[in-house]
């Protein structure tokens, strides 16, 4: 009788200490496993490292929107494209803190502050550090994404109480030049190194559905999994449709099963990382999200808006997680679920 499940050797190996020497052949072999075998292996790894019935809930706020000088071909906030997103100044600290308080009360355990900069100026960083400290005092984990950092800026953010720094690699090294020309992949890797050296945890992932091939998605996962230390958080974003950006010409939303396969491979290759089912969930059915959770995704953003694009409403997330028997901070929210996006 043939054996239909993955070998015990492979499962036990992937449940051990994280590896940082994954090969293309191994990544391809994992991705191309029969679907049931891949899900079994990913769920086995997930259960060995996490509570399989818990999902982390985070909230994301754009504290400075639009006018970014980078030419990222997917981004509504790039000054290179006509996307109808108006550039704003850095948000008032009181508004940010109140938004973070509402996010906490709506069920968020982590609050991420995003600014559309190539790199922050020191005078702007002063204000961001004040925000970080105040949000930390609310009992929330803190995360920021501000563009490229110098070592000194990373240290300042750490000293202010920042827990995580988000800086995505976006895609594979081979496909990167098709999407961005104003910032190199090495620039991104250098910023991640500065964050690490300052004692910050790293949130780093990418975007799928921009016209890349499966090999590019696996190449991105290999890039992350073969770093000196795996990112503590790995957001997998499905590209959100945005008016006026070049990616519109190449975008191709992934087949649902292909997305689940990618989540599963990410879980196996980075067994101790939190894998976030991030942007694009409004395009996903409840059934697809459920499969992603089984494959090892264990974090979501809550709230109606992610930066400038839509996100499933919090009450839909609460209902879905309840039906799946998955616990989250939404279960102990101090006030009824509500939008956490600050009013203009």
Question: How distant, in Å, are the alpha carbons of 86, 165, 222, 262 from that of 226?
Answer: 38, 19, 6, 16
Dist CA 280 CA 290 (whole Å):
15
CA atoms within 13 A on the CB side of 175: 23
Domains along the sequence of the chain with CATH? 23-330 (3.20.20.70)
Task: Kindly list the catalytic residues.
Answer: 68, 72, 75, 112, 143, 203, 276
Work out the pLDDT band at 333, boundaries 50, 70, 90: low
The pLDDT score that the predictor gives to residue 341 is 40
Distance CA 301, CA 278 (A): 6
pLDDT digits (tens, 9 = 90+) for 80-137: 888 878 888 999 999 999 999 998 988 889 999 999 899 999 899 999 999 999 999 9
| Cα(244)–Cα(331) distance, integer angstroms | 39
Give the pair of three-digit tokens for residue 343.
Answer: 């009013």
Q: How many Å apart are CA 238 and CA 341, to the nearest integer?
A: 21
User: Can you give the pLDDT at residue 13?
Assistant: 46
Q: What is the pLDDT of residues 29-82, one digit of tens each?
A: 999 999 999 999 999 999 999 999 999 999 999 999 888 888 888 888 888 888
Decide: residue 335, CB within 10 A, 0-12 exposed, 13-18 middle, 19+ buried: exposed
Contact predicate 235/167, CB 8 Å: no
> What angle, rounded to 10 degrees, do the helices at 314-324 and 286-295 form?
60
Task: Look up tokens 């109140």; give the residue.
Answer: 98
pLDDT at 249: 85
pLDDT in tens, 141-194: 999 999 999 999 999 999 999 999 999 999 999 999 999 999 999 999 999 999
Instruction: Give the closest residue to 156 by CA, choosing from 110, 200, 100.
Output: 200
Global pTM reads 0.88
Average the pLDDT over 282-302 and give the result: 94
Tell me: the pLDDT tens digits for 7-28? 444 444 455 578 999 999 999 9
Residue that has been written with the tokens 């101790």 in this structure: 272
């Amino acid at each position: 009788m043939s054996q239909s499940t993955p070998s015990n050797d492979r499962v036990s190996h992937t449940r051990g200490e994280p590896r940082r020497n994954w090969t293309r052949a191994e990544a391809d072999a994992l991705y191309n496993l029969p679907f049931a075998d891949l899900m079994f292996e990913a769920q086995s790894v997930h259960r060995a490292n996490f509570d399989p019935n818990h999902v982390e809930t985070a909230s994301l706020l754009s504290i400075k929107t639009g006018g970014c000088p980078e030419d990222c071909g997917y981004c509504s906030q790039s000054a290179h494209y006509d996307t109808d997103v108006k550039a704003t100044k850095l948000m008032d600290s009181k508004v940010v803190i109140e938004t973070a308080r509402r996010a906490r009360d709506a069920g968020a355990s982590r609050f991420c502050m995003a600014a559309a900069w190539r790199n922050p100026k020191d005078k702007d960083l002063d204000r961001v550090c004040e925000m970080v400290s105040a949000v930390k005092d609310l009992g929330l984990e803190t995360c920021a994404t501000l563009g490229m950092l110098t070592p000194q800026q990373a240290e300042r953010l750490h000293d202010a109480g920042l827990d995580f720094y988000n800086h995505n690699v976006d895609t594979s090294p081979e496909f990167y030049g098709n999407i961005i020309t104003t910032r190199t992949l090495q620039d991104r890797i250098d910023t991640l190194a500065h964050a690490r050296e300052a004692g910050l945890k790293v949130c780093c992932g990418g975007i799928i559905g921009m016209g890349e091939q499966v090999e590019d998605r696996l190449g991105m996962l290999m890039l992350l999994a073969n770093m000196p230390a795996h990112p503590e958080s790995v957001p997998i974003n499905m590209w959100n449709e945005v008016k006026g950006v070049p990616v519109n010409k190449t975008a191709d939303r992934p087949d649902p099963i292909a997305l689940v396969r990618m989540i599963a491979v990410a879980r196996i290759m980075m067994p101790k990382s939190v894998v976030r089912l991030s942007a694009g969930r409004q395009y996903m059915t409840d059934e697809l999200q459920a499969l992603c959770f089984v494959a090892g995704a264990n974090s979501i953003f809550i709230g109606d808006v992610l930066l400038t694009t839509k996100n499933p409403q919090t009450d839909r997330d609460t209902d879905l997680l309840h039906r799946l028997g998955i616990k989250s901070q939404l279960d102990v929210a101090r006030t009824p679920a509500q939008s956490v996006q600050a009013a203009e």
